[in-house]
Chain A
Amino acid sequence: MADTLVVSRKRRSWAGWKFVGPFMAVFALVFLAPIGYSIYLSLYRNRLIGGNSFVGLDNYTQALQDAQFWAGFGRVALFLVVQVPIMLILALLVALAIDSGRLYGKAFFRVTIFLPYAVPAVVATLMWGFMYGPQFGLVGNINDALNITLPDPLGGSLALASIGNIVTWEFVGYNMLIFYSALRVVPGSLYESAEIDGAGQFRIIRAIKLPAIRGALVIATIFSVIGSFQLFNEPAILRPLAKNVLTTGYTPNMYAYQLSFSGQQYNYAATVAIIMGLITMVIAYVVQLRGTREN
């Protein structure tokens, strides 16, 4: 990224702002202003008696001791540690398989596996939710056909895994495409000389392909980290099917949503959102640092 910051042979002038200006104006309105307002909100508290008053970091100390917040955080952290590696490794394997040129009908695979990305999270969750149904869904059909009783996919401990399955289904193809696009631009001559040197396929993957797409791996990981910490749509839409398991504070995001739109606790909701934002930024930064340092 940094090397493209160096612009050669270009006259320095204000002309560029004519192109960048409109984007930055809207960006300021929908990104910078809300971030600023959010920080402002998190430092105040609205009481029935006394109205709006400055409370310093009180909201933050309250959030850091809030068991419900940490329970939600624990769930998305577990989700991150289990679901993200499974999804990214699967995506990487498929990308390597398609790129190897050893598949019959590789164009078919490339498009088919990517298609779920175009399906809205709402529809994906509704579909999987129906299929999870033990009575009239696919799980129910399997139970009837084989005369067995599979555990309820949305029951207690399995619910998070079932949500992970939906998210994996949605984004495996998207990540595959990021990896595959990066693999496509590795010069073929590198493989040829490696093969002449007697390197096998797995060695070529480890020594040439993976280092060559390091940037794509880092970007995909950062996007996945952000996505995990923001987990909202899937559990929120599945909620009517399993109200006792998928509580209103199931993820930090659902918690913040519930605080503001059911509880009118905007200040506290902003605080929870900022804490999650800070944690996300720190982890994204660490991933980027590790990913680029190992060069």
Chain B
Amino acid sequence: MTTTVQPSAAAPTGAAPRARIRQDRRAPRRSIVLTLLTGVVAIYSLVPLVWLVINATKTQEGLLSSFGLWSNLRQTFTYDDGVFLRWLGNTVLYVVVGAGGATLLSTLAGYGLAKFDFPGRRAVFAVVIGAVAVPGTALAVPTFLMFSRMGLTNTPWSVIIPSLISPFGLYLMWTFSSQAVPDEMLEAARVDGAGEFRTFFRISVPLLGPGIVTALLFNMVVTWNNYFLPLIMLKDPDWYPLTIGLNAWNEQAQTAGSEAVFNLVITGSLLTILPLLAAFLLLQRYWQSGLAAGSVKE
């Protein structure tokens, strides 16, 4: 008994210092200086947001002492017959259909590119990558003219249809699919006689979860924050998203002689950014793993 115990007891003593060193390397000593320096960048990132929150509590008269957040909120939602709510509803519509559709299309296409070999596959790559380098604004004028001939301008479709294409989403879902879905599993499903779409929804979609959440979040940001596209496509304030509406209020506030509504611009801005900030904070775990996996192939 003692002879068998001894060598195994000797081994840990020999290995202990090495193991300790390795642990030290994995968790290097924390640095206060480095933390402070990074803190400067964090403060830079936070200052405008803090400024926004503070100023949303001030009323138009600038009564610094009074807390005006509630009256500002009430005014924001009721001003001009509650047009802010209408803009919020439009934005939600554009995000649900536009970003949702963009995520669906890029998930299907990314998966198709990663997991199938088909005639014209290389051409698809070449065309998509080449077209992405074309500045979006080079497309804006001709898209506007085309849509105006088709009678689509000044309708929700003029904002939704161009939002359906997300090159970033395609790239992410393509790299993500090629890693997250093992070819063997697909082969097995095919051997069992499952159709391609059945295989996709039953086997692949669950594996693609973090990638889909990441693509959806980033598509949501792009659609929610879209400014240039609705600016050229929409004339009717009833179809404005929040971004265009807020800027219209701001221009009104800057124009001499008209009603100054700076407090509405500021409170409206705060309300506009809250949903996305909340989404990013709550879904951290998903998008951070989704991005990490997506960057492997870069």
Contacts and interface: CB of A to CB of B under 8 A. Distances in A.
Interface of A: 1, 4-5, 7, 9-20, 22-24, 26-27, 29-35, 37-38, 41, 90, 94, 97-98, 100-105, 108-124, 126-128, 130-131, 136, 138, 169, 172-173, 177-178, 181-182, 184-185, 188, 191-192, 195, 213, 215-216, 219, 222, 226, 229-230, 232-233, 237, 240-241, 253, 256-257, 260-261, 266, 269-270, 273-274, 276-277, 280-281, 284-285
Q: Is the interface of B mostly helix, strand, loop or mixed?
A: helix
B145 A266 contact: yes
Contacts of A181: 288, 291-292, 294-295
B22 interface: yes
A16 B112 contact: yes
A19 B294 CA distance: 20
Interface stretch (B1-9, B65-73, B132-140): B132-140
B41 A172 contact: yes
Contacts of A130: 51, 55, 262, 266
A195 B178 CA distance: 33
Q: Taking chain A's interface residues, is the majority helix, strand, or loop, or is none over half, making it mixed?
A: helix
23 contacts: A13-B117, A15-B196, A17-B118, A20-B108, A26-B105, A26-B165, A27-B128, A34-B139, A35-B138, A37-B145, A38-B142, A102-B31, A104-B32, A109-B41, A116-B48, A118-B277, A122-B243, A124-B48, A127-B49, A127-B51, A182-B295, A216-B298, A273-B138
Contacts of A138: 51
Nearest to B43: A112
A121 B228 CA distance: 10
Nearest to B245: A122
Contact of B134 (A184, A269, A281): A281
A138 B169 CA distance: 38
Nearest to A226: B135
A18 B197 contact: yes
Contacts of B133: 222, 226, 277, 280-281, 284-285
A172 B183 contact: no
A15 B118 contact: yes
Nearest to B55: A130
Contacts of A172: 41, 45
A132 B133 CA distance: 33
How large, as a class, is the contact surface on chain B?
Answer: 35 or more
B117 to A, nearest CB: 4
Interface in B258-294: 262, 265-266, 269, 272-273, 276-277, 279-281, 284, 288, 291-292, 294
Nearest to B33: A102
Given A23-B165, A215-B298, 6 more contacts: A7-B117, A10-B183, A23-B106, A120-B272, A216-B295, A226-B135
B138 A38 contact: yes
B116 A15 contact: yes
A233 B272 CA distance: 17
